[in-house]
């Protein structure tokens, strides 16, 4: 395992570039899982390599349901990422999480229904644990970086991923609160699930743009207000990324997530589908190399 950091940043709504990157260049990374959302902006902050991918593409051209999360995670893995920080605009399901607040998410509820959510399937059946879906180390670093940047942040929170592109009904929003969800968004899943399958420690910072539709004395979610708050959040998000990267330890200690696929593959080696395995050369490369005995 590498002892050096290569941080992947997935930029959410309002965050389409990182101006602080040195030696920055956009590089196209091909994936066997289709087209990623955009090229990857490769550069560094100090001595740390950074790989930035705008989740919706530059100009926000891709809707949440149409995002190719498999290609995005695969491309970041191919670009050498060791860890991922995702940044997402979210709605608040709690009074104490007002617009402008950040939440270092630690749990998810998946309510999406039209997305491919795994790299694995017949021919290479694999089951990874998602009990604790984020990397606690990255989440702690991210929350501390928000504080250092002068922003309000809550450590821990449950993110409900909905399909979209419509916002919730009032009945849905109230139900999600009863389920224990704290914030709601359209992109955190299957992204987090796929990062775990790719053995990439993943954390998500939710940037609250609005209260969801559960407040009876208010109008529903207003896109203009969301965009205004989203733009206000984006500057703090950029500062947070810089603060996180400059605070990284000089040496990256191994994470248990680095070996998440150990003992997760169920299919017997003689039943592996070579066509499926060929597509997994990045996602499961460590495991496949070990199985072949070549490191």
Of the candidates 143, 135, 104, 137, the residue with the CA atom closest to the CA atom of residue 257: 135
Structure tokens at 217: 């004395």
Of the candidates 136, 134, 153, 28, the residue with the CA atom closest to the CA atom of residue 86: 134
How far is residue 231's CA from residue 221's CA, in Å, rounded to a whole number?
16
How far is residue 144's CA from residue 168's CA, in Å, rounded to a whole number?
31
> Exposed (0-12), middle (13-18) or buried (19+): which is 138, by Cβ within 10 Å?
buried
How far is residue 28's CA from residue 79's CA, in Å, rounded to a whole number?
10
Question: Of the listed 212, 262, 263, 270, which one is catalytic?
Answer: 212
Q: How many CB atoms lie within 10 A of CB 223?
A: 11
Q: Is 212 a catalytic residue?
A: yes
Question: Of the listed 83, 182, 210, 258, which one is catalytic?
Answer: 210
HEC letters along 14-79: CCCCCCCCEEEEEECCCECCECCCCCEEEEEECCEEEEEEECCCCCCCCCCCCCCHHHHHHHHHHC
Structure tokens at 275: 């066509």
Who contacts 258 (Cβ-Cβ below 8 Å, separation ≥6)? 1, 199, 201, 286
Phi-psi category of residue 237: left, alpha or beta, with phi > 0 → left and psi -120 to 50 → alpha: alpha
How far is residue 41's CA from residue 19's CA, in Å, rounded to a whole number?
10
Q: Is 217 a catalytic residue?
A: no
Structure tokens at 229: 């708050």
Active site residues: 210, 212
């Amino acid at each position: 395992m590498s002892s050096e950091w290569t941080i992947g940043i997935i930029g959410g709504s309002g965050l389409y570039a990182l101006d602080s990157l040195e030696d920055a260049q956009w590089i196209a990374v091909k994936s066997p899982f289709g087209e990623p959302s955009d090229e990857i902006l490769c550069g560094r902050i100090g001595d740390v390599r950074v790989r930035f991918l705008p989740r919706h593409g530059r100009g926000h051209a891709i809707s949440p349901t149409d995002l190719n999360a498999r290609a995005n995670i695969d491309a970041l893995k191919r670009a050498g990422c060791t860890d991922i920080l995702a940044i997402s605009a979210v709605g608040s399901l709690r009074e104490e999480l007002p617009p402008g607040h950040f939440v270092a998410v630690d749990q998810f509820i998946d309510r999406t229904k039209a997305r491919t959510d795994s790299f694995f399937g017949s021919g290479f059946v694999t089951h990874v644990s998602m009990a604790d879906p984020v990397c606690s180390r990255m989440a702690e670093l991210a929350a501390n970086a928000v504080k250092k940047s002068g922003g309000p942040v809550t450590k821990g929170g449950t993110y409900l991923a909905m399909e979209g592109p419509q916002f919730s009904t009032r009945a849905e929003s109230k139900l999600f609160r009863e389920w224990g969800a704290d914030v709601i968004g359209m992109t955190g899943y299957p992204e987090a699930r796929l990062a775990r399958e790719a053995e990439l420690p993943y954390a998500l910072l939710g940037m609250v743009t609005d209260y969801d539709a559960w407040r009876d004395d208010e109008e529903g979610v207003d896109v203009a207000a969301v965009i205004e708050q989203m733009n206000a959040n984006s500057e703090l998000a950029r500062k947070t990324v810089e603060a996180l990267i400059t605070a990284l330890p000089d040496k990256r200690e191994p994470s248990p997530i680095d070996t998440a696929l150990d003992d997760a593959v169920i299919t017997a080696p003689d039943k592996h589908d070579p066509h499926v395995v060929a597509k997994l050369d990045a996602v499961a490369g460590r495991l496949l190399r070990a199985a072949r005995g070549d490191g």
